Each structure stands twice: as structure tokens, then as C-alpha cells.
Amino acid sequence: MSEKPVIAQRTPCMVEVGPGTIYWCQCGRSKTQPFCDGAHTGTDFSPLAVHFEEKKRVALCGCKRTERPPYCDGTHSRI
């Protein structure tokens, strides 16, 4: 993928998820961050489906540069 994602924010997105499947925005264009709203249409990106068995609070990547998608790995502090 040659296209780089838009940096949606330089902090993690703390959200409550599950049980069920979420669709994490990988392009950074979604207006409903950190979730996909279809804004990737026409790009090389697609959402990442992530299933959670139970309800929990997680830190999802907001900068879209994580090495552990969809989770924040601190990369935002280096960009």
C-alpha cells in the first residue's frame, strides 16, 4: 500500500467495545473515529474487523501508524 493514512489524532482513542465486532478505520478519514464510516471509498484502505468476546475498555490507535492494529502502541508520540 503506497498511500499513507491520514493522522486522525495524536492520542489513543479510549473506547468501550464488545461483545461483538467493530470495524476500525485504517484510513484516518472517518468522521466517527476510531470506527469506519466508509470514508475510505476510492482509496487503497479498508476497515479492520475486530471481534471482542466481552465488553471491555481498550486504547485504539488514533494516528493510524501503530505496529499492532487496531491497538495503540505509542507510535503517536514519535510522529
| Residues 29-51 pLDDT 10s | 999 999 999 999 999 999 999 99
The predicted-structure confidence for 46-69, as pLDDT tens digits, reads as follows: 999 999 999 999 999 999 999 999
Q: What is the DSSP string of 5-53?
A: PP---SS-EEEEE-SEEEEE-SSS--TTTTB--STTTTSS--PEEEEES
Res 35: pLDDT? 98
